[in-house]
Amino acid sequence: MPRPRSLTESQIAAAALAVIDRDGLAALTMRAVAKELGMGTMSLYRYVDDREQLEGLVVERVLGAVDTTPPTGSSWRDRLATMVERVRRAVAAHPEVVPLTLTHRQSSPSNLRWAETVLGILTEAGIGGERRVIALRGLVAYLIGAIQLEHLGPLSGAGTRRIAALPAEEFPLMAETGRLAARVSADQEFRAGLAVLLDGLERATGGDGSA
């Protein structure tokens, strides 16, 4: 009987990510990944214990592409924006993975390195203690929520058109918002929303954002 071929975690993660990109997150199973790799399901268990471990490998493959080197030569606001945009770009091609980045954020080495860099920037900005905890959580919450909205409910989608068509006598502000929203690009929406959050952090520091 031939020996099973040797697989790397990178190969397994790539196969799992291919399944997710093609068929959606719900399709991620040991059987589906084994088929993607051209092997039997039980053979895959030689390398991976369960779906949870598969998920972790996928998250690390996606977030491993994020540059966690601290940006230089700009204000702390700009450096934070750069760190957030790096994650957005890495996840953009794999939007189905977004929920996994939340559930596996504490076990992903790449995510932990990203968070360490962000915390360093917040510290330099004079944000410490519990405020720093909340600031990090706020940035993560915005990032995950904004990416999900961008891909699952974009302003260019049918939902916006339905809101714009609401009867103005009953929903005057919603109807107007829908019409205005149709003009907003995904980049404009993401960056303007992030600016609102950073404005709040800047007020909390009592500074001018140039630290």
* Rounded (5°) CA angle 140-86-159: 65
Whole-number Å distance between alpha carbons of 47 and 50: 9
Whole-number Å distance between alpha carbons of 198 and 74: 15
With b for 16 or more beta-carbon neighbours within 10 A and e for fewer, the 58-81 pattern comes to: bbbbbbbebebeebeeebbbebbb
Burial of 90 (0-12, 13-18, 19+ CB in 10 A): buried
Q: If you search the block for the tokens 């031939």, which residue do you land on?
A: 2
Identify the pLDDT of residue 135: 96
The domains of the chain, with CATH numbers, are 9-63 (1.10.10.60), 76-205 (1.10.357.10)
Q: Is 58 helix (H, G, I), strand (E, B) or coil?
A: helix
Lookup: tokens for 107: 């076990």
Break the chain down into helix, strand, coil percent, rounded to 5: 70, 0, 30
pLDDT by residue (tens digit) across 22-35? 999 999 999 999 99
- pLDDT-derived band at 2, boundaries 50, 70, 90: very low
Q: What is the mean pLDDT of residues 199-207?
A: 83
Q: Is 49 helix (H, G, I), strand (E, B) or coil?
A: coil
* Rounded (5°) CA angle 66-150-70: 25
pLDDT by residue (tens digit) across 71-101? 987 899 999 999 999 999 999 889 899 889 8
